């Protein structure tokens, strides 16, 4: 059987690349299974995608936002009917457990639903004037062609949380997914095509970041870029975009803490640490990679956590009961294993895991044991750098204040959890945690469609994603002064 060859989608047509070289799309749980092959598109093809988006823009901009939104609702319906298929593709392509994939597809559906609803609102404001018979108001207008560059770890939800608001706002899109997850991107694009999106409004370009990614970042006809991924790439994109004076939004790394105080419900907190630390194999920017414990409960908590880790089922995400799938590819697996070695050399105490899983079933994939380090200190690299794997570091502190200091002692600022029954401590934590979102008595992960998502410090550049806040990025505000005196102004405050 010949392998499916993915294509680019440019100006409403599926087109192959002129470059005969392809990238095989491999199932990380069964590396002898190639799902499809995707093109290594050329710079010219990336430019063609931008040109199509530019050409489609004037008409799409003129389409009223409630009408644009109807196409999104249509996409929502189609995605709903293809939800099971999409979740299976996600698990095969990225490796996460099928329950997580279903959850991710549901999240994408929620975002589509919420964002489509915003097409009927997309409100501006009315503003009082200091002058008589003058009316000031604002309208939201699209920016133009936007480039959306998305990562492999949430290959359904993240594209949707960029594409949906970009489109409903009236922008046209060039969408470049990670090289590791083109299949989900292909299906998402197909869904928008089936929903009746006009040609050129959404264009998919598959290929390398260093080739097509660079082209759609530097292209003079691109007026905004939204990126989720690593700090190195995000900061380079920001530098290039800011030189051209365009908008850039970047969602990057995290080193998220779960802080557990002595009055916490420990069972709940252990569960939060497991879900946050090992869920999705730790391959998420909201992963709880640090657990900060108040000394008095630390030994007990660590014991409970180790016991709970024994029940983590690892394997092919399609199999029922599996909680944790493989690393996404060999490179990612090796990065994680290198960090584990580093942790040992830095003097952290390895309590559990630390190895690649071998033996029946595991040899066919990139599986790593859930790994726990204790007695980690803030200066250690494993406590500072994003590992993006199933590795959790325990740090200990005497007081609440010290716990907070440790929680904040990293360059990133995405998410933080506090487990405590003490309302005063909870409220204080909300105030002082240097992050974009706080979870009280729940894990660091996840987010709802109608709430803003994003981080502070080195995590985020630009406005938040999701919620109504997302329109701060995807629209320009135009301020309108209407003078209905019909007269030359006699007075002015200035």
Question: Active-site residue numbers?
Answer: 251, 285
Write the interaction track for ligand UN1 spanning residues 272-311; mark x where CB under 6 A is met and - where it is not: ------------xxx-------------------------
Q: Please pick, from the candidates 110, 228, 249, 275, the single residue that binds ligand UN1 as defined by CB under 6 A.
A: 228
Name beta bridge partners: 148: 175, 226
- Closer residue to ligand UN1 (CB): 39 or 254: 254
Is residue 110 close enough to count as binding ligand UN1 by CB under 6 A?
no
Q: In a 3-state reduction of DSSP, which class is residue 197?
A: coil
Is residue 163 close enough to count as binding ligand UN1 by CB under 6 A?
no
- Closer residue to ligand UN1 (CB): 142 or 209: 209
DSSP secondary structure of 371-383? EEEES--TTSHHH
Q: Please pick, from the candidates 446, 450, 463, 469, the single residue that binds ligand UN1 as defined by CB under 6 A.
A: 446
Give the shortest CB-103-to-ligand UN1 separation in angstroms.
Answer: 8
Is residue 97 close enough to count as binding ligand UN1 by CB under 6 A?
no
Residue 26 near residue 35 (C-beta atoms within 8 A)? yes
- Closer residue to ligand UN1 (CB): 53 or 258: 258
- Closer residue to ligand UN1 (CB): 25 or 150: 150
- Closer residue to ligand UN1 (CB): 273 or 298: 273
Where in 341-370 is the site for ligand UN1 (CB under 6 A)? none
CA distance 204 to 148: 10
Give, in order, the Cα–Cα distances in Å from 206 to each of 45, 122, 479: 9, 31, 38
- Scanning 262-270, 307-315, 318-326, 441-449 for contacts with ligand UN1 by CB under 6 A, the matching segment is 441-449
- Closer residue to ligand UN1 (CB): 106 or 377: 106
Give the shortest CB-447-to-ligand UN1 separation in angstroms.
Answer: 6
Where in 236-255 is the site for ligand UN1 (CB under 6 A)? 251
Q: Which of 339, 319, 401, 324 is nearest to 369 (CA)?
A: 324
Is residue 154 close enough to count as binding ligand UN1 by CB under 6 A?
yes
Q: Six-digit token pair at 118?
A: 């915003």
Collect contacts of 383-387 with beta carbons under 8 A, ≥24 apart: 383/255, 383/290, 383/409, 383/410, 384/255, 384/410, 384/411, 385/255, 385/339, 386/231, 386/253, 386/254, 386/255, 386/285, 386/289, 386/412, 387/282, 387/289, 387/335, 387/336, 387/339
Give the shortest CB-297-to-ligand UN1 separation in angstroms.
Answer: 26
Q: Which of 474, 447, 449, 451 is nearest to 463 (CA)?
A: 474
The footprint of ligand UN1 (CB under 6 A) covers: 151, 153-154, 228, 251, 284-286, 445-447
């Amino acid at each position: 059987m010949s392998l499916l060859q993915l294509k680019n989608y440019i100006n409403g047509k599926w087109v192959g690349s002129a470059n005969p070289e392809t990238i095989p799309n491999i199932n990380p749980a069964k590396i002898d299974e190639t799902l499809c092959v995707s093109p290594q598109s050329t710079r010219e093809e990336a430019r063609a995608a931008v040109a199509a988006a530019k050409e489609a823009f004037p008409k799409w901009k003129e389409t009223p936002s409630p009408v644009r939104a109807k196409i999104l609702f249509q996409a929502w319906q189609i995605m709903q009917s293809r939800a099971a298929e999409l979740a299976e593709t996600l698990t095969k392509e990225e490796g996460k457990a099928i329950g997580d994939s279903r959850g991710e597809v549901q999240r994408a559906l929620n975002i589509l639903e919420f964002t489509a609803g915003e097409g009927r609102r997309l409100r501006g404001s009315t503003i009082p004037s200091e002058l008589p018979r003058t009316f000031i108001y604002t309208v939201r207008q699209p920016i133009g062609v936007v480039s959306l560059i998305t990562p492999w770890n949430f290959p359904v939800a993240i594209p949707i949380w960029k594409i949906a608001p970009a489109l409903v706002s009236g922008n046209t899109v060039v969408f470049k997914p990670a090289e590791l997850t083109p299949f989900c991107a292909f299906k998402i694009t197909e869904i928008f095509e089936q929903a009746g999106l006009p040609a050129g409004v959404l264009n998919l370009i598959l290929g390398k970041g260093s080739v097509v990614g660079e082209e759609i970042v530097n292209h003079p006809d691109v007026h905004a870029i939204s990126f989720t991924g690593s700090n190195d790439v995000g900061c380079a994109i920001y530098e290039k975009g800011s030189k051209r004076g365009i908008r850039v939004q970047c969602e990057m790394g995290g080193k998220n803490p779960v802080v557990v105080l002595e009055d916490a419900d420990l069972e709940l907190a252990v569960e939060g640490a497991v879900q946050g630390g090992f869920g999705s194999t730790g391959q998420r920017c909201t992963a709880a990679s640090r657990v900060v414990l108040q000394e008095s409960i630390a030994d007990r908590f660590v014991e409970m956590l180790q016991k709970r880790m024994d029940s983590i089922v690892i394997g092919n995400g399609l199999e029922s009961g599996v909680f944790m799938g493989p690393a996404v590819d060999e490179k990612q697996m090796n990065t994680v294993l290198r960090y584990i070695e580093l942790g040992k050399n830095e003097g952290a105490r390895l309590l559990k895991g630390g190895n690649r899983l071998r033996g029946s079933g595991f040899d066919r994939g990139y599986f790593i044991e859930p790994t726990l380090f204790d007695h980690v200190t803030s200066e250690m690299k494993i406590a500072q750098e994003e590992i993006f794997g199933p590795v959790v570091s325990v740090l200990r502190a005497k007081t609440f204040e010290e716990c907070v200091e440790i929680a904040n002692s990293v360059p990133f600022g995405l998410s933080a959890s506090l487990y405590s029954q003490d309302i005063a401590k909870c409220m204080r934590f909300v105030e002082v945690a240097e992050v974009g979102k706080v979870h009280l008595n729940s894990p660091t992960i996840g987010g709802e469609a109608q709430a803003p998502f994003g981080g502070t410090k080195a995590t985020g550049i630009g406005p938040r994603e999701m919620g109504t806040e997302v329109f701060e990025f995807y629209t320009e505000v135009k301020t309108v002064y209407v003078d209905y005196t019909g007269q030359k102004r006699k007075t002015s405050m200035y």
